[in-house]
Chains A and B, each alone.
Chain A
Amino acid sequence: MSTVTADTHAAQGEHAHTSSFLKTYVFSLDHKIIGLQFLFSTLIWFSVGGLLAMGIRWQLAYPWRPMPLLGNLLAANEGGQIAPENYTMLVTMHATVMIFFVIIPILAGAFGNFLIPLMIGADDMAVPVLNMLSYWFMWPAFFLIGSSFFVEGGAAQGGWTSYPPLSVIQQAAPGSLEGQTLWLLGVTFVGISSMMGSINYMTTIIQMRAPGMTMFRLPMTIWGMFITALLQAFALPVLTAAGFMQLSDRMFGTGFFLPEGAMANNSPMETGGGQPLLWQHLFWFYSHPAVYIMTLPAMGIVSDILSTFARKPLFGYKPMVYSICGIAGLGFIVWGHHMFVSGMNPMLGMTFMVSTMMIALPSAIKTFNWLGTLWGGKIQFTTPMLFAISFVSMFIIGGLSGIFMAATPVDIFIHDTYYIVAHFHYVLFCSTTMAVFGGIYYWFPKMFGRMMNDSWGKVHFTLTFVLMNCVFYPMHILGMQGFPRRLADPYHYETFRNLLPLNQFMSWAAFLLMASQIIFIINFFGSMFFGPRAGRNPWKANGLEWQAPSPPGHGNFDFQPIIYRGPYEYGSPETDEDYYPQTQPPKEKPMTNDQ
């Protein structure tokens, strides 16, 4: 092992002499360090977003009662009682933090950065400086959104969708003062960071694959990352432009999103001539593909983990790739399903209903192929595998509940109710976040050279799996009753009065869910320092990344990787072992060409 490390450093002499602490761990150009920087930052924001959710759950369980413990943090001025404007801030910022600071950067930033060069056999990203900048451009966003909690009026309160005129007219809500400006700037910086990352990922995946690594030998994780990068490159400019338009409406008195004769506090605005629906179209033109940005890499991660621990090839590799591409293509023509009741032309609603129904198809194909992967395998129930199986199980729920919203007449009733809240939490929390946990348990040995504790991992899994279903599954029946989202106190409506006990049950499950993550934190940091050494390939996996040292040094590989096959040849009759690494030369055929 020691000679290996020495070799790697010698080979990377140009980097080695700059290895002061600051250059190595802070302004690092190494994709692995940048990936870990993303991982730590997003995990910190994950806990912030989780705490915000606790505030929401407290208010829904015990409306207007002072919140113990956390109340001093979330609503200090009111003595822990969550005021209505505070509640709208909580729902806005919970979503903003979770989407822009957790899920998107943890998938693309953390896993993308760490895994892409390792899995395709490159020594680093195509443009390491751009890669470093993509991380450091997150910091203005962290700072802007973080500081917005402390300005007058508090952080943004217009919902994470930031619909004008509420978000544009400063008198409309306390959070539409400086908080909203900081929100728009913060999201713009996240966009810049994502854009830098996306260009880098595409270039790296297209240009820097090791010899023999054809596109159809790429692991599904890389396919997910590749298509995600493509989606970001095409969709993000629209959000950035729309963000600047809203900023200009707020600061320079333009009226892109304000209609003629707009009123605020009974006084007419001086501007107008715009259209509030324009923002919704532009916003969802980005934010619908963004849903897939938050899902496709997770699907890739799950495909890799399932195949590894079923000890069996991935079922239907090419259909899986084609369905990812199909999702990406269709993803651009379904944004209108967020706007069925917005006042958009009902004819358009019909068109979007058909395209939305069709986008369920590739997801269904992927689900069947995951089931096919389990079929006839020899499943090893490791912690990452449990998280991956639970992804499939939960994604079925999240996928099926989407069909209700796609059906326009039904959506008239369940739009903006807890039905949709149930749906996207099943996709984003119960599915994507479970895949993220699985990915962390799976690649932790590669990241830090040590194993995470499997028994505590299983305790963490079981608690998370059971509790999150207790939190999110009842939301379906809440939605059936029409229970609206974003209401600080829904119980003064006669229709919803009887839902309080169920909400209290869900809230307690949520508090316990949050608490059970402490197990993960302790396991994560404890294993980082005291876990058993992992070795190169602790899972006996095929992927190229498992042939590199753990953790890989600068330049990743201590040999020139040459790829002979795809990453899923488990149980192949060509070899005696039950796995067949991508770099292992075929037995009989002598190596005649280096292709």
Chain B
Amino acid sequence: MKHFWSFLFFLVPVLGVATFVFAPHFNIWLPRDISEQGRTIDSLFMFILYLTGAVFIVTESVLFYFVWKYDGKSNEQPVLFSHGSHALELVWTIIPAVTLLFIAIYQMQAWAAIKMDPPPISYTCEVTGRQFNWDFRYPGPDNELYTLDDIVRTDGKLYLPVNEEILLKITSGDVLHSFFLPNLRVKQDVVPGMAQKMWFKGKKTGGYDIVCAELCGWGHYKMKGRVFFLPRNEYDAKLAEFSAEQNTMRVEVPEEE
């Protein structure tokens, strides 16, 4: 087939764009977003996606056009004996440089908000990653963390009040982990010996996945948790229930050998 190769290369932009166009119809896309910074991150993602998508379509189409037009079998023109063009080099240096710099600067505000300037925090709890479980510590009735009435849960279920700014203190009990909430677009590596923190506001009630995103050993795949966002009154009831449960819990002390 004439021009078979150029059409093969033309498939790249066509199917490349088609994949992204049809993926949402198969329910494969950014997961449901329930947080404030999730919206920022998604819009930045889409901004870069459209920008790079446009560059992708243009460059791949130019590649297709050249490969089609300058096919040695059909191109009757003599070869263009050119070693380059100073003007063109300037154009395709300056325009991408400005664009790239713009992308970098455009992102900084969001980065600072997510990582550097915490909003007023209304609720704090602690997460500990250990092979292969997430443990959670909540402030007890005195509403203060690291006191005697703290509630410690090891069932991998994190309960949080909805629509409140939450600060999570994250530590590791052994190796590296990464605390990843896909639906809130937050992720933080958990490093032993370092106190990490993250803040977010969950805006929808319900249960969502907690994923470990840093290789932590053979059981990495099953280091799964769930986060549940509850309305404040239900949340207080839940925590009171935990507190009561913990106070009546009998600790079996293993016999010393």
A residues sitting closer than 8 Å to B (CB atoms) are: 83-85, 87-88, 91, 157-159, 163, 165-166, 169, 172-174, 259-265, 272, 275-277, 310-319, 341-343, 346-347, 349-350, 353-354, 357-358, 360-361, 364-365, 367-369, 371-372, 374-381, 386, 389-390, 392-393, 396-397, 400-401, 403-404, 406-410, 412-417, 462, 465-466, 469, 473-474, 476-478, 480-482, 484, 486-490, 492-495, 498-499, 502, 568, 570-573, 578
Contact = CB atoms under 8 A, between A and B. Distances in A.
Given A310-B70, A346-B115, A157 B218 contact: yes
Interface string B112-149: 10111000000000000001000000000000000000
Contacts of A361: 93, 96-97, 100
Nearest to A165: B175
A173 B31 CA distance: 32
Given A390-B9, A488-B221, 5 more contacts: A157-B217, A315-B84, A369-B84, A488-B220, A578-B79
B211 interface: yes
Contacts of A493: 209, 211, 224
A496 B214 CA distance: 17
A255 to B, nearest CB: 10
Given A262-B192, A319-B84, A346-B111, A495 B31 contact: yes
A542 to B, nearest CB: 13
Interface string B24-48: 0011111100000100110011001
Contacts of A494: 209
Nearest to B51: A403
Contact of A410 (B60, B85, B107): B107
B154 interface: no
B191 A343 contact: yes
A343 B178 CA distance: 10
How extensive is the interface on chain B, given as a class? 35 or more
A377 B49 CA distance: 32
B152 interface: no
Contacts of A410: 41, 44-45, 48, 107
B196 A377 contact: no
Given A371-B66, A416-B178, A341 B217 contact: no
Contacts of A484: 180, 211-213
B108 to A, nearest CB: 6
B83 interface: yes
B84 A374 contact: no
A173 B191 contact: no
Nearest to B77: A376
Contacts of B110: 409
B249 to A, nearest CB: 20
B220 A487 contact: yes
B225 to A, nearest CB: 10
Contacts of B194: 259, 276-277, 343
20 contacts: A165-B175, A169-B175, A260-B193, A276-B194, A316-B88, A361-B96, A375-B70, A379-B71, A403-B100, A404-B45, A410-B44, A412-B185, A412-B187, A413-B187, A414-B45, A416-B180, A477-B19, A480-B28, A486-B215, A492-B224
A578 B55 CA distance: 34
Contacts of B183: 495
Contacts of B160: none
A408 B41 CA distance: 10
A165 B189 contact: no
A372 B93 contact: no
Contacts of B196: 343
A404 B103 CA distance: 10
Contacts of A264: 174-175
- Give the one of B23, B82, B194 with max A CB within 10 A: B82
Contacts of B72: 311, 377-381
Contacts of A473: 15-16, 19
Given A84-B218, A166-B176, A486-B215, A261 B187 contact: no
A462 B19 contact: no
B254 interface: no
A326 to B, nearest CB: 10
B174 A84 contact: no
A361 B96 CA distance: 6
B231 interface: no
Contacts of B176: 163, 165-166, 276
Contact of A276 (B45, B63, B193): B193
A173 B217 contact: yes
Contacts of B20: 476-477
A573 to B, nearest CB: 6
B107 A312 contact: no
For the complex of A and B, 9 pairs with smallest distance between CB atoms: A259-B193, A376-B80, A571-B79, A85-B218, A316-B84, A482-B182, A346-B115, A378-B72, A488-B221
B62 interface: yes
B218 A489 contact: no
A172 B213 CA distance: 17
Contacts of B173: 263
B232 interface: no
A366 to B, nearest CB: 10
A280 to B, nearest CB: 9
A397 B56 contact: yes
Nearest to A402: B52
B255 interface: no
A87 to B, nearest CB: 8
Given A319-B84, A378-B79, A492-B224, A166 B96 contact: no
Nearest to A381: B5
A337 to B, nearest CB: 11
Nearest to A161: B215
Given A172-B175, A393-B12, A396-B60, A88 B111 contact: no
B120 to A, nearest CB: 19
Nearest to B72: A378
A571 B82 CA distance: 9
Contacts of B224: 492-493
Contact of B116 (A347, A358, A377, A378): A347
- Give the one of B93, B108, B192 with max A CB within 10 A: B192
B221 A84 contact: yes
